[in-house]
Structure 1
Amino acid sequence: MSAAQPKTNVVLIGMPGSGKSTVGVLLAKHLSRGFVDTDLIIQTNHGKTLQQIVDGAGHAALLDAEEAAVRSLDVENHVVATGGSVVYSAAGMAHLKAIGVLVYLATDLATLEARVGDYTMRGLAKRPEQTLADLFAERQALYEQYADVTVETAGLSHDAVCARVEAALDR
């Protein structure tokens, strides 16, 4: 895809548990677009779950795999759900910005904790001593920095979040 082409993709960013994958599928259906989940690309490319990658090679290996998966994206008219740690890669984020509109699904920590549950088995790119609250504090500014659009998701169903994203894209 050349840089001169319009940004035809909608790229969802946000914390694990913010609803990127679920809202992404709904949004793709509503917008008649394809759907790509970069976590699934990573798992397919490596033949392992995200947690197996972290357990076997550490969180840095997952970050590297995520950057490679994101930078390999060559799609148009898709909704892309990214992994929560995608914002750690400036090169990956530059590529996503070039191909799409970045939508941050902003979700409060209490909701994330309730949705994620046992985050130690979630395949998160985090240092061993980091908690979900630590990740939230560390990543929030990065999501805000990269986002073209921010959609607050507090107290909303996935369908309602999808409707808010659609409304924001129409503006």
Structure 2
Amino acid sequence: MHHHKNIILIGMPGAGKSTVGVILAKSLGMRFIDTDILIQERTGRMLQAILDEDGPDAFGRIEEETVLSLHAEHAVIATGGSVVCSEAAMAHLKAGGMVVYLEISYDEMERRLKNITTRGIVLLPGQSLRGMYDERVPLYERYADLTVASSGEGLESVVGNVLEVV
């Protein structure tokens, strides 16, 4: 592992990017950055408030700007599930490290997203959770350098699987 490089976690809402990311950063002695938290710090608002008040397009622009302004080294970066909708953001992240896709099934995602209305999940107008899932899977697969199956796995197990491949 080139430790000046970053490890970028991508995947569906509920895939465990933030939780796995914290443990991974501790295990590897790296910084931890959560782009959703950066967006909240930058805007002074919760993700859901941005989505409710400004809509998904505006949220996407803020997310892209936030990611493009990030110049991290030696960090584990947990991204929002919608970051793959921005080619510019993904090119920027990929240039700085290895992209790991935490893959979960649709059923697993649905189970984990009990609090969907307050989670700040980017759904397009009229888009169902299933529609969002089906639209994003090919994007995650396109950008991933590595894929780690995370359905039905405990956190420690997922972290172990990521550690094996990075």
- Whether these two folds match at TM > 0.5 is yes
Deviations 1:84-120 (A, max 9, x none): 0000100000000100100000000111111111423
Q: Tell me the amino acid that sits aligned with residue 152 of structure 1.
A: A
User: Match of 2:135?
Assistant: 138
TM-score of the superposed pair, with normalisation by structure 2 = 0.96
1:39 aligns with 2:41: no
Distance 2:141 2:132 in 1: 14
Q: 2:17 touches 2:78 (CA, 8 Å); kept in 1? A: yes
Q: 2:3 touches 2:74 (CA, 8 Å); kept in 1? A: no
Where does the alignment leave 5 or more consecutive residues of structure 2 unmatched?
none
Over aligned residue pairs, what C-alpha RMSD do you find?
1.3
The list of structure 1 runs, each at least 4 consecutive aligned residues, that deviate by more than 6 angstroms after superposition, is none
Kindly state the Cα deviation for residue 6 of structure 1 after the two structures are TM-superposed.
8.1
State the secondary structure of the residue aligned to 1:21. Answer: helix
Distance 2:162 2:15 in 1: 13
Distance 2:115 2:125 in 1: 14
Kindly state the Cα deviation for residue 141 of structure 1 after the two structures are TM-superposed.
0.2
Aligned residues: 165
Where does the alignment leave 5 or more consecutive residues of structure 1 unmatched?
none
User: Match of 1:116?
Assistant: 113
Q: 1:14 touches 1:106 (CA, 8 Å); kept in 2? A: yes
State the secondary structure of the residue aligned to 2:126. Answer: coil
Kindly state the Cα deviation for residue 48 of structure 1 after the two structures are TM-superposed.
0.4
Distance 1:118 1:26 in 2: 23
1:72-91 superposed matches below 5 A: 72-91=69-88
1:150 aligns with 2:121: no
Distance 1:45 1:116 in 2: 25
Distance 1:92 1:155 in 2: 30
Q: Pick from 60, 64, 68: which aligns with 1:63?
A: 60
Q: State the percentage of identical aligned residues.
A: 47
